[in-house]
Amino acid sequence: MTDDVRGQGGRGDESGPEDVLAVGVLGARGKVGREVCRAVEAAADTRLVAEIDVDDDLEALVRSGARAVVDFTHPDVVMDNLEFCVSHGIHAVVGTTGFDESRLRTLRGWLADSPGTGVLIAPNFSIGAVLMMRFAAAAAPFYESVEIVELHHPDKADAPSGTARHTAELVAAARREAGCAPVPDATSTALEGARGADVEGIRVHGLRIRGLVAHQEVVLGGVGETLTIRHDSLDRASFTPGVLTGLRAIASRPGLTVGLEHLLDLDV
Amino acid sequence: MTDDVRGQGGRGDESGPEDVLAVGVLGARGKVGREVCRAVEAAADTRLVAEIDVDDDLEALVRSGARAVVDFTHPDVVMDNLEFCVSHGIHAVVGTTGFDESRLRTLRGWLADSPGTGVLIAPNFSIGAVLMMRFAAAAAPFYESVEIVELHHPDKADAPSGTARHTAELVAAARREAGCAPVPDATSTALEGARGADVEGIRVHGLRIRGLVAHQEVVLGGVGETLTIRHDSLDRASFTPGVLTGLRAIASRPGLTVGLEHLLDLDV
Amino acid sequence: MTDDVRGQGGRGDESGPEDVLAVGVLGARGKVGREVCRAVEAAADTRLVAEIDVDDDLEALVRSGARAVVDFTHPDVVMDNLEFCVSHGIHAVVGTTGFDESRLRTLRGWLADSPGTGVLIAPNFSIGAVLMMRFAAAAAPFYESVEIVELHHPDKADAPSGTARHTAELVAAARREAGCAPVPDATSTALEGARGADVEGIRVHGLRIRGLVAHQEVVLGGVGETLTIRHDSLDRASFTPGVLTGLRAIASRPGLTVGLEHLLDLDV
Amino acid sequence: MTDDVRGQGGRGDESGPEDVLAVGVLGARGKVGREVCRAVEAAADTRLVAEIDVDDDLEALVRSGARAVVDFTHPDVVMDNLEFCVSHGIHAVVGTTGFDESRLRTLRGWLADSPGTGVLIAPNFSIGAVLMMRFAAAAAPFYESVEIVELHHPDKADAPSGTARHTAELVAAARREAGCAPVPDATSTALEGARGADVEGIRVHGLRIRGLVAHQEVVLGGVGETLTIRHDSLDRASFTPGVLTGLRAIASRPGLTVGLEHLLDLDV
């Protein structure tokens, strides 16, 4: 059994019988939770055994035989959910936000008392977004210039997006480590904002356009050539392959994993 | 004889003999001037008869029989050049910068005294840039959202580019005239500069990337769809078709024309 | 009252009271029909008065007071629907396919007997697609090279798409009319299919990619520069603004109109 | 000393004194050779000591003290050049084409007799092209669909480009190894060529557009999202950083290396 989603286009050969993972979903009646339920039901190697939401008892998880949960709930309740799951040896794949260093420390404490249990906390379950960030950071030291453009629907509250900011930080770190000089920029007169936001020396530009969903482009350039890495999310369902990847991998990764990227075997 | 560059890919049929236009180039030894000389020599319907630069006498133009000039010189000398040409009935295609309302007024005065002589002042001779601006302004009233991204080499001094700023002004004017509401933007928390520069309500973003030359993208979006118009200049020679267009048209357009766009017959 | 969708981002000023158009939808329970019903209900200047589907009596249209209908039904029934509507003086906006010259002739005959009634037949209600085609055809004579790339989901049965084929025909016609030479192509050794399909001398390439919806790019190029016009449909709802445009315009355009483009006032 | 070009944007810190590599250029008066000479002269850590072309004696290389050569000559002479260099212990970076398995075997034999000497044979010195291929192959197993679009000037003789074909082979191999199913494609009616060329099950499309240089895009897609990796060569000089990378690395890689990619330390 593979612990990643490579080959997800469907195996050409017929696989033999495999263990099917019993999965409970926390936040099952939310918009995202419903998509997760659908994906868990549709996948051949996972089975949906419990749909829990705000008014339900967590004990139902135990009764259902769930070996792993997916949690897309709320920062106010996610820690209670995880304490319960870890203490019952139930693995967890978590998309709920709000994890700071203090919460991660608490979580590591609980996991230390429950060896064999694995928890994945991921701010982004899009495999494409993770690949874009990895490739951008890998390529950045080979180029003089790097900038980031993110494009989203106009109802988004923050700019730049969290993914764009995180990409810029990864790119900046990769360049620092390789000893790169700052990106060149001879701008001497500019309208305010024309050169974007500065995230650790990397310029980030945010567009807000009706009709778009979530898109990002990293543009890298050197003498006579450019390399562009672009990720387009066209549908909210795009995060479900990443959740399934997490579920398949987490049982064999005891302890805390932060970030989907650690579960992708890239072979680059 | 056509007054535009349509069909410039080359006529399939053989044209009969045509009048060949005798052209003088002012600023002939500058980087741009040399390209102009090459283009005037290469075109079948123009002939290079005079190459004038800073130390040469303008009287040589008259002796050469030039019926039109191309001027890529300097704001300090261009008015003297034009006074000479207009008073001698020589048409002019001008790419030199620095024309404000006062200079244009002076020029109109000279042209009033020399009926039949035509002068074209154009800030941009790229046909692609002109088409991009026309299409962007034409499409803008049909979309809720419009933003502009320009990308240039990192040695550029100003941001955003003049073309991007001008495009934003044209888009804003077209939307005002059509009674459009402001573009939607729910951004409530942003890093400084993340949303670009504001040019009359249209957001403009400038990237500076080694390896690039001059590029611009106008992104328009409405419910469920986007339209993107992109212009890429990959070589400085891209302005020469526009200069030839100007030369072919100017003899039959007495008086002052500002902007190449008035010479393109778009049939949209 | 405007007869186009310009300014659709919403008027900045408050409009005074206007006539609200009573609209019936034929094929109201189909996937597309349901979207049309939603859009007609949501717009301020249209009102949904009848939802007709396969088992319903067309007389209900008359009883409902519908002044116009939208027809997204089936080639087998659309002519009966239109005969009924035209004979009752009800305007029609039609997205159903299958109109050949013989059907259009029949339709013109019915309309001749019912002066004042208007019918719009449109193969494509996406305003972005219409703009893309108009701009591509307008720009094509200014460039040596033009090619078309269309990208769709992999469940699509035909390649290239109807829109790509139609764009190629419009581009080819515009170039013929302007006397352009054939596009240059020095290819002497090629894998079969590498240079795409040939539609009247214009190369068209079709990609089939999971995750995509409906996308098209027209790439035009001349010495040192390229112009790219790209349309992205990210959601099926993108056709509804075009349907509303048709409804608003059709009452004041008696007779037959084929193609949404005739209702867009482009001012290019 | 690093054996790659990462950090090529220029080091922020001042490097101490380093060995400067004495380099000879074979084919020095060709178009490519002249660019190589310029780049070797411009780099701080290489020095141009010999410019050899068709009529020059290879012994001049030895007299010049060259420790490495760059060979952009011709298939007819490159083997003689390499036999001379290897037998004199001069490292070689080779961009000349025409290396088949028999030539590589001969070369390995010479190198076996000259331990400590290194030869790099690379079909493509563009770092961006190499990164694009690596990233495309790494990402391909995570997506259902992959297609390749290459865009070049219309004077190119072959379609698809060698780089596009090679990328398709790498992508196909990565998918086979991961056990992916074939890419989905429901096309049942198509114009000839509309779906591109088939290279080991991967579709490849070639555009020929005046104004372009050499460009390639790999489009990958899965449920709800796409990842696009694009490489743009805008200037022939874009291969020189790869040549310098080869020169810096080859002295410490005895024996035969085929492909620049083995010298890029990607850390992905």
- The count of CB pairs under 8 A between chains A and C is 13
Is C31 assigned to a binding site? Answer: yes
* D71-100 pLDDT, tens digit each: 999 999 999 999 999 999 999 999 998 899
Say what the pLDDT of residue B175 is: 97
C211 vs D207, D209, D225: nearest CB: D225
Is A109 assigned to a binding site? Answer: no
* D63-77 pLDDT, tens digit each: 999 999 999 999 999
Average pLDDT (C177-186) is 95
Q: Is residue A135 within 8 Å of residue D227, measured between CB atoms?
A: no
Task: Read off the pLDDT band of D236 (50, 70, 90).
Answer: confident
Alpha-carbon span D185 to D191, nearest angstrom: 15
| D179 neighbourhood in chain A, CB within 8 Å | 7, 11-13
Say what the pLDDT of residue D194 is: 98
* B196-227 pLDDT, tens digit each: 999 999 999 999 999 999 999 999 999 899 99
| C184 neighbourhood in chain B, CB within 8 Å | 9
Asked if B227 reaches chain A (Cβ–Cβ under 8 Å), the answer is no
Q: Does domain B127-234 have CATH number 3.30.360.10?
A: yes
| D235 neighbourhood in chain B, CB within 8 Å | 211
Which subunits have 3 or more CB–CB pairs within 8 Å of chain B? A, C, D
Summary mean pLDDT of chain A: 91
Average pLDDT (B177-181) is 94
Strand partners, B219: B147, B228
- Residues with Cβ within 8 Å of B57's Cβ and at least 6 positions away in sequence, in order, are none
Say what the pLDDT of residue D19 is: 79
Q: Is residue C94 within 8 Å of residue C121, measured between CB atoms?
A: yes
Alpha-carbon span C143 to D209, nearest angstrom: 10
Angle at A83 between CA A77 and CA A88, to 5 degrees: 130
Average pLDDT (D178-194) is 95
Asked if A124 reaches chain C (Cβ–Cβ under 8 Å), the answer is no
Q: ipTM > 0.85? A: no
Is A95 assigned to a binding site? Answer: yes
| D211 neighbourhood in chain B, CB within 8 Å | 232, 234-235, 238
* D115-129 pLDDT, tens digit each: 999 999 998 899 999
Say what the pLDDT of residue D237 is: 81
Average pLDDT (C197-221) is 97
* A53-91 pLDDT, tens digit each: 988 999 999 999 999 999 999 999 999 999 999 999 999
Nearest to D154 by CA among C142, C135, C147, C177: C147
Query: If residue B232 lies in a helix (H) or strand (E), which one and from where to where?
Result: strand B225-233
Asked if A160 reaches chain B (Cβ–Cβ under 8 Å), the answer is yes
Between residues D247 and B12, the one the model is more confident about? D247
pLDDT of A7 higher than 60: no
Alpha-carbon span C45 to C41, nearest angstrom: 9
pLDDT of C3 higher than 90: no
- Say how many residues make up chain C: 268
B210 vs A145, A199, A209: nearest CB: A145
For residue A235, give how far its alpha carbon lies from the nearest alpha carbon of chain B (Å): 11
Say what the pLDDT of residue B6 is: 59
| A215 neighbourhood in chain D, CB within 8 Å | none
| Bridge-based pairing state of the strands D21-26 and D46-52 | parallel
Average pLDDT (D223-252) is 92
Average pLDDT (C27-51) is 95
Average pLDDT (D225-231) is 98
pLDDT of C97 higher than 90: no
Neighbour-count burial of A19, counting CB atoms closer than 10 A to its CB (0-12 exposed, 13-18 middle, 19+ buried): exposed
* CATH level 2 (architecture), domain B21-121+237-263: 3-Layer(aba) Sandwich (3.40)
Asked if A98 reaches chain B (Cβ–Cβ under 8 Å), the answer is no
Between residues C103 and D10, the one the model is more confident about? C103
Rounded alpha-carbon distances, angstroms, from residue B50 to B37, B58, B65, B163, D88: 9, 10, 9, 31, 57
A160 upstream amide cis, omega within 30 of 0: yes
Say what the pLDDT of residue B151 is: 98
Say what the pLDDT of residue D123 is: 84
CB contact under 8 A, D226 and A234: yes
Which subunits have 3 or more CB–CB pairs within 8 Å of chain D? A, B, C
pLDDT of C17 higher than 60: no
C141 vs B6, B143, B183: nearest CB: B6
Say what the pLDDT of residue C263 is: 87
Q: What are phi and psi of D82, to 5 degrees?
A: -70, -35
The DSSP output letter for A144 is S
Alpha-carbon span B47 to B38, nearest angstrom: 10
* Test the B interface: residue of D8, D212, D217, D234 with most B CBs within 10 Å: D234
Nearest to C221 by CA among C123, C111, C162, C142: C142
Nearest to A147 by CA among B208, D230, D55: B208
Cα-Cα-Cα-Cα dihedral sign, residues B19, B3, C140, B219: positive
Average pLDDT (B186-203) is 97
* Test the B interface: residue of A189, A210, A226, A229 with most B CBs within 10 Å: A210
| Bridge-based pairing state of the strands C91-94 and D91-94 | unpaired
Alpha-carbon span B94 to B259, nearest angstrom: 10
Say what the pLDDT of residue C267 is: 55
Q: Is residue D223 within 8 Å of residue C154, measured between CB atoms?
A: no
| Across A5-19, B206-220, C126-140, least confident range | A5-19
Say what the pLDDT of residue C129 is: 95
pLDDT of B11 higher than 70: no
- Domain extents in chain A: 21-121+237-263, 127-234
- Percent of chain C with pLDDT strictly greater than 70: 92
- Minimal-distance CA residue of chain B relative to C264: B142
Angle at A19 between CA A41 and CA A31, to 5 degrees: 20
Average pLDDT (C109-130) is 94
Is D218 assigned to a binding site? Answer: no
Tokens found for residue B152: 């240039």
Alpha-carbon span D85 to D106, nearest angstrom: 14
Is A124 assigned to a binding site? Answer: yes
Say what the pLDDT of residue A6 is: 58
- Percent of chain A with pLDDT strictly greater than 70: 92
Tokens found for residue B234: 């990959």
pLDDT of C239 higher than 50: yes
pLDDT of C121 higher than 60: yes
- Minimal-distance CA residue of chain C relative to B228: C230
Task: Read off the pLDDT band of D238 (50, 70, 90).
Answer: confident
For residue C234, give how far its alpha carbon lies from the nearest alpha carbon of chain A (Å): 7
Q: Catalytic annotation on C152?
A: yes
Crossing angle, helix C240-250 and helix C127-139, to 10 degrees?
Answer: 80
CB contact under 8 A, C10 and B181: yes
Neighbour-count burial of D116, counting CB atoms closer than 10 A to its CB (0-12 exposed, 13-18 middle, 19+ buried): exposed
Catalytic residue among C91, C152, C215, C231: C152
- Say how many residues make up chain B: 268
Average pLDDT (A184-192) is 95
Say what the pLDDT of residue B18 is: 55
Average pLDDT (B164-190) is 96
Strand partners, C215: C151, C232
Average pLDDT (D197-212) is 98
Alpha-carbon span D159 to D147, nearest angstrom: 15
Summary mean pLDDT of chain C: 91
Asked if B16 reaches chain C (Cβ–Cβ under 8 Å), the answer is no
Query: If residue B205 lies in a helix (H) or strand (E), which one and from where to where?
Result: strand B202-208
Alpha-carbon span C92 to C58, nearest angstrom: 14
- Residues with Cβ within 8 Å of B70's Cβ and at least 6 positions away in sequence, in order, are B23, B24, B25, B26, B33, B36, B40, B92, B93, B94, B95, B243, B246, B247
pLDDT of B190 higher than 90: yes
- Residues with Cβ within 8 Å of C35's Cβ and at least 6 positions away in sequence, in order, are C236, C237, C239, C240
Say what the pLDDT of residue D6 is: 59
Catalytic residue among D74, D88, D156, D166: D156
| Across B21-35, C206-220, D234-248, least confident range | D234-248
Tokens found for residue A211: 């009709």
Say what the pLDDT of residue A14 is: 38
* D145-174 pLDDT, tens digit each: 999 999 999 999 999 999 999 999 999 999
DSSP states of A47-102 as a string? EEEEEE-TTS-THHHHHHT-SEEEE---TTTHHHHHHHHHHTT-EEEE------HH
Q: 3-state DSSP call for residue D106?
A: helix
Is C153 assigned to a binding site? Answer: yes
Say what the pLDDT of residue D7 is: 55
Nearest to A209 by CA among B139, B228, C152, B200: B228
pLDDT of C46 higher than 70: yes
Catalytic residue among D152, D205, D215, D231: D152
pLDDT of C67 higher than 80: yes
Rounded alpha-carbon distances, angstroms, from residue D238 to A115, B210, D96, D214, D242: 53, 11, 17, 11, 8
pLDDT of B13 higher than 80: no
Strand partners, A152: A208, A214
Asked if C14 reaches chain B (Cβ–Cβ under 8 Å), the answer is no
Asked if D208 reaches chain B (Cβ–Cβ under 8 Å), the answer is no
Is D31 assigned to a binding site? Answer: yes
| D226 neighbourhood in chain A, CB within 8 Å | 128, 231-232, 234
Average pLDDT (B57-74) is 96
A7 vs D180, D236, D237: nearest CB: D180
The catalytic site residues of A sit at 152, 156
Average pLDDT (A110-120) is 97
Q: With DSSP H G I counted as helix, E B as strand and the rest as coil, what are the percentages for chain C, rounded to 5? A: 35, 25, 40
Asked if D30 reaches chain A (Cβ–Cβ under 8 Å), the answer is no
Residue type, B108: R
Residue type, D172: A
Alpha-carbon span C171 to C179, nearest angstrom: 12
Q: Is residue D89 within 8 Å of residue D66, measured between CB atoms?
A: no
Task: Read off the pLDDT band of D2 (50, 70, 90).
Answer: very low
pLDDT of A263 higher than 60: yes
Average pLDDT (B235-249) is 90
DSSP states of B24-60 as a string? EEETTTSHHHHHHHHHHHHSTTEEEEEEE-TTS-THH
* Test the A interface: residue of D14, D36, D225, D239 with most A CBs within 10 Å: D225
Task: Read off the pLDDT band of B19 (50, 70, 90).
Answer: confident
* Test the D interface: residue of B210, B231, B233, B234 with most D CBs within 10 Å: B234
